[in-house]
Amino acid sequence: MVEGVIRQIRELIPRGKRLKIMNVCGSHEHTISSSGIRSLMPEGLELIPGPGCPVCVCPESDIINAIELSRRDDVLLVTYGDMLRVPSREGSIISNGRNFRMVTSPSEVVRIAREDKDRKVIFFSIGFETTTAPVAAILETGMPENLYILSSHRLTPRIMEVLVMDSEIGIDGFIAPGHVSAIVGADAWRVFPERYGIPVVVAGFEPENLLLGLLELLRQINDGRPYVGNVYRHVVRPQGNTTAQRLINKYFTVSDVNWRAIGNIPRSGLELRDEYARADAKRVFGLKEVKESKIPGCICDRVVLGKAYPDDCRLFKKACTPERPKGPCMVSIEGACNIWFKNR
Amino acid sequence: MCVGVPMRLVEIDYPFGVAEAKGVRRNIGLQLLPEGEIKIGDYVIVHVGFAIEKLDKREADEIWKGYEELLGLMEEGDA
Ligand code: SF4
* SS3 of residue B37 by DSSP: helix
Q: What is the pLDDT of residue B66?
A: 82
Closest CA to A164 of A188, A187, A197: A197
CB contact (8 A) between residue B50 and residue A133: yes
Question: Domain coordinates of chain B in residue numbers?
Answer: 5-78
Q: Whose CA is nearest to atom 7 of ligand 1?
A: A327
**Of B33, B47, B56, which is closest to A234 when you measure between CB atoms?**
B56
Mutation test residue for ligand 1: of A262, A295, A300, the one with most atoms within 8 Å of CB: A300
- Domain A1-293 class? alpha beta
Q: Which residues of B touch A133 (CB under 8 A)?
A: 32, 50, 52
Backbone angles phi, psi at B74, to 5 degrees: -65, -40
Task: Report whether residue A326 contacts ligand 1, using a CB cutoff of 6 Å.
Answer: yes
- Kindly report, residue by residue over A248-270, the tens digit of the pLDDT: 999 999 999 999 999 999 999 99
The yes-or-no verdict on residue A60 having pLDDT over 80 is yes
- Residue A259, pLDDT score: 95
Quick one: pLDDT band at residue B74, thresholds 50, 70, 90?
Answer: low
Partner B contacted by A206 (CB < 8 A): yes
Give the helix/strand (H/E) hosting A28: helix A26-34
Beta strands in A104-199 (DSSP E): 120-127, 147-154, 173-177
For residues B2-30, give the mean pLDDT: 93
Mean pLDDT score of chain A: 95
pLDDT at B79 over 50: no
Query: What type of residue is A47?
Result: L
Residues 36-65 of A with CB under 8 A from B: 36, 52-55
CA distance A89 to chain B (A): 25
pLDDT tens, position by position, A150-179 = 999 999 999 999 999 998 989 999 999 999
Q: What is the CA radius of gyration of chain A?
A: 20
Q: What is the pLDDT of residues A63-102, one digit of tens each?
A: 999 999 999 999 999 999 999 999 999 999 999 999 999 9
Task: List helix spans (H) across chain A.
Answer: 2-11, 26-34, 37-40, 54-57, 60-70, 81-84, 93-96, 106-115, 129-141, 156-164, 178-184, 191-196, 207-223, 242-251, 281-284, 300-304, 328-331, 336-343
The CATH architecture that domain B5-78 belongs to is Roll (2.30)
Q: Is the pLDDT of residue A240 over 70?
A: yes
Check pLDDT > 50 for residue B78: no
| Three-state secondary structure call for residue A340 | helix
A336 in contact with ligand 1, CB cutoff 6 A: no
Q: How far is the CA of A311 from the centre of ligand 1 (A)?
A: 9
Query: Environment class of residue A40 by beta-carbon count within 10 Å: exposed (0-12), middle (13-18) or buried (19+)?
Result: middle
> How close is the nearest chain A Cα to the Cα of B41, in Å?
17
For the Cβ of A331 lying below 6 angstroms from any atom of ligand 1, the answer is no
20-39 of B, contacting A, C-beta below 8 A: 27-29, 31-34
Q: Is the CB of A261 under 6 A from ligand 1?
A: no
Q: Where in chain A is the domain with CATH 3.40.50.11740?
A: 1-293
How far, in Å, from the CA of A257 to the mean position of ligand 1? 23
CB contact under 8 A, B31 and A80: no
